[in-house]
Chain A
Amino acid sequence: MKNLFNALVIVLFAVLGLTLIWVILELQPPTHVHLSKQVLTQLDASGVTHPVTAVLLNFRGYDTLLEVMVLLLALLGVLAQIGKREQRNLSAWFRLSQPYLQVLLWLVRMIVPLMVLVAGYLLWVGGHQPGGAFQAGAVLAAAGVLLNLSGVLPSWAEPAWNLRTGLVFGLLVFLLVAAAVMVVASPGLLLQYPPASAGMLILLIEMGLTLSLGLILAGLFLFLSGDAIEDEAEK
Chain B
Amino acid sequence: MFDPIPWLILLPLAWGCLAFLAGVGRGGRLAFAGLIIQLALTIVLARQIAMEGARHYAVGGWGAPLGIDLYVDGLTGVMLLLIHVVTLPLVVYARAYFSCQAEGVGYFWPLTLFLLAAMNALFMSADIFNIYVTLELLSLAAVGLVAAAGSAGPIAAAVRYLLVTLLGSGAYLMGVALLYGTYGSVSLTVLGPLLAATEISAAVFLAAMLMLTGLLLKTALFPFHFWLPPAHGSAPAPVSALLSALVIKASFYLILRLWFDLFAPLVTIPVAQLLGGLGAAAILWGSVLAFMQVRLKMLVAYSTVAQIGYLFLLFPLMMLPIPEAAESALQGGMMQLVAHALAKAAMFAAAGVMVLSAGKDDIALLSGMSSHLPLTLFAFALAGVTLMGLPPSGGFIAKWLLISSAVNGGQWGWVAVMILGGLLSAAYVFKVLCQAFLPPVAGVKFKPVRRVLEWPAFLLALISLLLGFRSGEILSLLGGG
Contacts and interface: CB of A to CB of B under 8 A. Distances in A.
Interface of A: 19-20, 22-24, 26-28, 30-35, 38-39, 42, 58-63, 65-67, 69-70, 72-74, 76-77, 79-81, 83-84, 158, 161, 164-165, 167-168, 171-172, 175, 178-179, 182, 186, 188-193
A12 B190 CA distance: 33
A62 B184 contact: no
Given A66-B121, A80-B147, A83-B150, A158 B20 contact: no
Contacts of B66: 35, 38-39, 42, 59
A34 B121 CA distance: 27
A62 B62 CA distance: 12
Interface in B2-26: 2-3, 5-6, 9-10, 13-14, 16-18, 20-21, 23-24
Contacts of B17: 72, 168, 171-172, 175
B51 interface: no
A59 B185 CA distance: 13
Contacts of B162: 77
A186 B58 CA distance: 13
B59 A20 contact: no
B143 interface: yes
Contact of A80 (B23, B106, B137, B181): B106
B21 A58 contact: no
A23 B130 contact: no
Contact of B137 (A58, A66, A186): A66
A35 B187 CA distance: 11
A26 B117 CA distance: 39
B133 A67 contact: yes
Give the 3 A-B residue pairs with the shortest CB-CB distance, closest first.
Answer: A30-B184, A190-B6, A33-B184
What class of interface size applies to chain B in its complex with A?
35 or more
B2 A76 contact: no
Which of B17, B57, B133, B141 has most chain A Cβ within 10 Å? B17
A158 B155 CA distance: 18
A76 B136 contact: no
A65 to B, nearest CB: 8
A38 B65 contact: yes
Given A33-B184, A190-B59, A80 B148 contact: yes
Contact of B24 (A62, A73, A158, A191): A158
B319 to A, nearest CB: 27
Interface of B: 2-3, 5-6, 9-10, 13-14, 16-18, 20-21, 23-24, 57, 59-62, 65-68, 106-107, 110-111, 114, 117, 121, 129-130, 133-134, 136-137, 140-141, 143-144, 147-148, 150, 155, 162, 174, 178, 180-185, 190, 194, 198, 201-203, 206
24 contacts: A20-B174, A24-B181, A26-B202, A27-B178, A27-B182, A30-B181, A38-B65, A42-B62, A58-B60, A62-B60, A63-B130, A63-B133, A72-B20, A73-B141, A76-B107, A165-B21, A167-B20, A175-B10, A175-B13, A178-B6, A189-B6, A190-B9, A191-B59, A192-B61
A164 B24 CA distance: 11
B185 A66 contact: no
A161 B61 contact: no
A31 B10 CA distance: 36
Given A182-B6, A189-B6, A33 B185 contact: yes
A59 B62 contact: yes
Contacts of B180: 30
Which of B137, B140, B181 has most chain A Cβ within 10 Å? B140
Given A23-B206, A76-B144, A161-B23, 19 more contacts: A19-B206, A20-B174, A23-B203, A27-B182, A30-B180, A34-B184, A38-B65, A39-B66, A66-B134, A70-B133, A70-B136, A72-B20, A73-B137, A73-B141, A80-B150, A164-B23, A167-B20, A179-B14, A189-B60
Which of B2, B10, B129, B185 has most chain A Cβ within 10 Å? B10
B144 A66 contact: no
B10 A179 contact: yes
B118 to A, nearest CB: 8
A164 B184 CA distance: 40
B65 A35 contact: yes
A31 B181 CA distance: 10
Contacts of B111: 73, 76
Contact of B6 (A161, A188, A193): A188
B60 A192 contact: yes
Contacts of A22: 202
A35 B140 CA distance: 30
Given A20-B174, A188-B3, A74 B182 contact: no
Contact of A190 (B60, B65, B140): B60
Contacts of A190: 5-6, 9-10, 57, 59-60
Contacts of A59: 60, 62, 66-67
B141 A164 contact: no
Contacts of B203: 23-24, 26-27
B174 A77 contact: no
Nearest to B140: A73
Contacts of A172: 14, 17-18
A182 B3 CA distance: 11
Which of A58, A69, A164, A186 has most chain B Cβ within 10 Å? A69
Contacts of A83: 106, 150
A49 B423 CA distance: 65
B14 A164 contact: no
Contacts of B60: 58-62, 189-193
A163 B473 CA distance: 48
B210 to A, nearest CB: 8
A83 B141 CA distance: 17
B22 to A, nearest CB: 8
A28 B178 CA distance: 11
B106 A79 contact: yes
A35 B185 contact: yes
